[in-house]
Structure 1
Amino acid sequence: MTRPQHFGWFLARGFGPQGWGYPSLDWDYDWTRPEIYQEAARTLEQAGFDLVIIEDAPSLGSPDTIDLRVRHAFGGPKHDPLLLAPYLFQATRHLGVVPTVNPAAYLPYTAARQFSTLQHLSGHRLGLNVVTDTGSARHFSAAAQLGHDAAYDRAEEWLSGIRSLWRSWGDGALVGDRETDVFADGSKLSTVRHRGEHYSFDGPLNAVPFTDGEPAIVSPGGSGRGLGFAGANSDVQLALAPLDEASVRAYRAKIHDAAIAAGRSADDLKILFAIQPVITASVEEADRIVAASAHPDDAALVQIARKQSSDLETDLTALDLERPLDVSIFGEHVSRGSIQRLIGDRGEDAPLRVHLTALARAGRIADRSGFVGTADEFADLIEELGEWGNDGVLLWGDFHPVTLHRTLDELVPVLRRRGILRRDHVDGGLQANLRAF
C-alpha cells in the first residue's frame, strides 16, 4: 500500500539572487524584497509541503576566492535568512520555515531568546538548520578556526545550552491566574549556570515556554561525526546518498543507530533525501534532455567548474582539465561531502575533465540513472523509496516562481492521486506535522 511521505524544499541559493543566470530573471522580481519568497512559500503550502529549508553561508569565503563566489552569484551575496523567516510566516499558516544558523554566529542566550520569539510568533513553525561551517569563524571572533569534529563538539554544546534555557521554565512556572493576579511563579524557574569549553552563560531565559514543542532541529552532514550529531540532536536529517535500496537502507540505519546510542528512538527524527528532479511533459522530452547532456562542450564544463569552485572555495577553472585532481588543494574547512560529490566513485586519479563531465551528464528517472523524467516516473521513484521505509524527500532549487511551477505543476496532482503527498496539514506547528505520519 502506498504510504504518505514528507516533502520539503531546500532553497539552495539561500536569501540570494533568485533566478540569476536564467531567462526567468526577466520576470523582474526583486530578490532583496520579501514578495518573491512569500509567493513561493504560499505555493509550497498549497502543494502540501511540510517545510522549506533556507541555505546560508555568512561568509563570502577567503580573500583569494571571493570573486569565485560573487561573479556568477553562486556563493553570494546572501542576506540573513533568519530575518526573512517572519515574512514567510506572515504569508502562510502551516508551512515550517527553517533558516540556516551557525553556532559561531550566535551566543547561546541571544540565540535561545531570538529563536523562542520566532517560535511563538509563527505558531510553533520554526526550524533551525544547524551547520558547522568553520570557514566563517573569522567574521565572529579572533579565536582560532576549529577543525571539522571540534566544530560539531561546539555545536552540540551550543544546542544543549539553548535547550537548557528553553526548558528553564519548569512545569507550573507560567501561571496566568487573573483572579490572583499571578502571572508566573519565579520559584519554578531554573537559574541555568553553564560553564563549558566554548560558552559561558547564565539563565533563566526571559521568554515564556512553548505550548507546541521546541523549534525543529535540522542538520546536514554525511560524515561519521555529522551523522552522530543528527542521531543525537536532530528532528530532521537532510540526507545525500545514492537512491538505491542498499544505500538508502544503510544510510538510514546509521542515523537510527546513532539515535538509539544517544538514548533516543529511531522514530524521533525524519530522514529526507535531497533530490533535484527535472520534470518533463513526456518521455520523449526526457530522452532528448539526457541525450543532449551526454557530450558536454568545454563551455558547459567551465560553467560547472565555476559552481564547484564557489562551493569548494577553490578555483577549478585555473586547473588543467586533462590532469588528475589533487584533493590536497582543498582547505581543511572544505566539506568532505562536497569534495566527495565532485569526485564520486571515479577516484582521485581521474582527470578533472572526467569529474566535470560526469556532473554535466543527466540520467533518466525511469532506469534510476538520474532525475530527468515525467511526473509519473518521479512518483514511481518516491513510491519505491517508501517501500524501503523512507520518510520523505527534499526537492532542491531556488525560489523563483518559474522554478517551483516547472517542478510542481504536474508533479503535485500525480503524488496526491497516489496518496504520497498530503492534502491537509494538521494544527500544532511544524513538529505536529512531522509527527503526523
Structure 2
Amino acid sequence: MSRLQHFGWFLARGFGPHGWGHPYLDWDYRWTSPELYQQSARELEQAGFDFLLIEDAPSLGSASTIDLRVRHAFGGPKHDPLLLAPYLFAATQRLGVIPTVNPAAYLPYTAARQFATLQHLSGHRLGLNVVTDTGSARHFGDAPQLDHDAAYDRAEEWLEAVRALWRSWGEGALVADPASGVYADGSKLDAVRHRGEYYAFEGPLNAVPFTHGEPVIASPGGSGRGLGFAGANSDIQLALAPLTEKSVRDYRAKIHAGAAARGRRASDISIMFAIQPTIVASAEEADRLVAASASPSDETLRVIAQRQSSDLETDLTALDLDRPLDLAIFGDHVSQGSIRRLTGDRDPASTPLRAHLAALARLGRMSDRSGFVGTADEFADLIEELGEWGNDGVLLWGDLHPVTVHRVLDDLVPILRRRGILRRELVDGGLHANLRAF
C-alpha cells in the first residue's frame, strides 16, 4: 500500500542567475526580481510540497577560484535568500520557506529577533537551513578560520543561544489583556545571560513568543559530526546517500541514534533524501539519454570540472585529466561530502581525474536503480520503494526557473497523487504542522 511522503524543493543554485547557460534564459525572467521565484513557489504550493529550501553561500570563494565561480555563474553571484523569503511568503499561504543561514554571519540576538519576526509575519512557515561553511568566515571578522568540527561546535552553541532567546518569554509572560490594560508580565521574562566559548550576550528577546512553534531547523552534512548535529538539533535532515535499502536504513539509524542520545524521538526528525530526477516522456527516451552519456567528451568533462571547482573551491580545470587526484589539494574548509561526491567509491590514489568526472557525467536509469532518468511512473515506483523502507520524504533538487519546475512536475504530480504518495493540499498551522500531518 502506498504511503504519503513529504516533498520539498531544493533550490540548489541559490538566489542567483537562473536560466544562465540554458536556452530558457530567453523567457526573459529577471533573476534579481521576486516574480520568478514567486511564480514557482505558487506552483510548488499547488503541487502539495511542504517547503522550498534555498541554498546559499555568502562567499565567492578563495582568490584562486573566484573567476571559476562567476565566469559561468556556477557558484556566484548570489543574493541573500533570507531577504527573498518575505516575497515568497506574500505569494503563498501555506508553503514553508527555508533559507540557508550561516552562524558566522549572525550574532545570536540579531538572529533570534530577525527570525522571530519572519516567523510571525509568515504565519509560522519559516525554516532555517543551518550550515557551517567555514570558507565564508573571513567576511565576518578576522578571527582564525575554524576547522570542520569546531564550526559545528560553534553552530551548536549558536542554535542553543537563539533558542534560549526565543524561549525567554516564559509561560504567562504575554498577557495581552485589554480589560486590565496589561500587555506583558515582565517578571516572567528570562534575562538569558549567555557566556559561551564563541558568544556572549544578554536577553531577554524583544519579540513576542510563537503560537505555532519555533522556526523549523534543517541541516545538511554527512560527516559523523554533521549527523550528530542533525540528530540533536534538526527537524529536517537533508540526506545524500545511495538509495539502496541498506544505505537508506543505515543512514536513518545514524540520525535516529543521534536524536535518542539527546533525548529526542525518531519522529522528531523528517529525513529527506535529495534527488535530482530527469523526468522524460518514455522509457525509450530515457534509454537514449543514458546511452548518450556513456562516453562523455572532453568538453563535457571540462564543464563538469568547472562546476566541481566551484563547489570544492579548488581549481580542477588546471589539473591533468589523466593523473590521479591528490586529495591534499583540498583545504580543511572543503566539505568531505563534496569530496566524496566527486570521488565516489573509487580510490583517489590510483584513479585519474578523468574517471571521476566521467562518472559524474554518466546518467543512469530509475528502472534499474542505477540513476535518476526515467518516466513519471518509474519515479513513483522509486518513491514507493523508499516509503517501504520507512522513508519520510524526498527533496527534489533543481533550480527554480518555472521551465524547470514544470518540466519535473507536470506529469509527476498527477501520478504521485493517484498512487497516494503526494498530498493534495497543505494544512493550516505553519511548517511544523505540515511536517507532522502524517
Same fold (TM over 0.5): yes
Aligned equivalents of 1:273 and 1:370: distance in 2? 14
Aligned residue number for residue 274 of structure 2: 274
Aligned equivalents of 1:273 and 1:347: distance in 2? 25
User: In the alignment, residue 396 of structure 1 is paired with which amino acid?
Assistant: W
Give the 3-state SS of the residue equivalent to 1:205 in structure 2.
coil
Matches within 5 A, 1:26-425: 26-348=26-348, 349-425=350-426
Aligned equivalents of 2:27 and 2:275: distance in 1? 26
Deviating above 4 A after TM superposition, structure 1's stretches of 4 or more consecutive aligned residues are: none
How far did residue 19 of structure 1 move? 1.2
Tell me, yes or no, if the aligned pair for 2:289 and 2:363 is still in contact at 8 Å.
Answer: yes
Deviation string, structure 1 residues 375-402 (Cα, Å, up to 9, x no partner): 0000000000000000000000111001
User: In the alignment, residue 84 of structure 2 is paired with which amino acid?
Assistant: L
Deviation string, structure 1 residues 305-341 (Cα, Å, up to 9, x no partner): 0000100011111111100000100111000000000
Tell me, yes or no, if the aligned pair for 2:274 and 2:397 is still in contact at 8 Å.
Answer: yes
Q: TM-score w.r.t. structure 1 length?
A: 1.00
Deviation string, structure 1 residues 336-392 (Cα, Å, up to 9, x no partner): 000000000111120000000100000000000000000000000000000000000
User: In the alignment, residue 265 of structure 1 is paired with which amino acid?
Assistant: R
Tell me, yes or no, if the aligned pair for 2:47 and 2:425 is still in contact at 8 Å.
Answer: no
How far did residue 65 of structure 1 move? 1.1
Aligned equivalents of 1:206 and 1:346: distance in 2? 53
The number of aligned residues is 437
Deviation string, structure 1 residues 109-151 (Cα, Å, up to 9, x no partner): 0000000000000000000000000000110011000000000
Deviation string, structure 1 residues 1-27 (Cα, Å, up to 9, x no partner): 111000000001100001111101010
Give the 3-state SS of the residue equivalent to 1:316 in structure 2.
coil
Aligned equivalents of 2:425 and 2:138: distance in 1? 45
Tell me, yes or no, if the aligned pair for 2:64 and 2:315 is still in contact at 8 Å.
Answer: no
Deviation string, structure 1 residues 167-187 (Cα, Å, up to 9, x no partner): 000000000111110001101
Structure 1 unmatched ranges of 5 or more? none
How far did residue 64 of structure 1 move? 1.6
Aligned equivalents of 1:238 and 1:20: distance in 2? 26
Aligned residue number for residue 11 of structure 1: 11
Aligned equivalents of 1:160 and 1:189: distance in 2? 17
Give the 3-state SS of the residue equivalent to 1:317 in structure 2.
coil
Tell me, yes or no, if the aligned pair for 2:14 and 2:81 is still in contact at 8 Å.
Answer: yes
Give the 3-state SS of the residue equivalent to 2:433 in structure 1.
helix
Aligned residue number for residue 431 of structure 2: 430
Structure 2 unmatched ranges of 5 or more? none
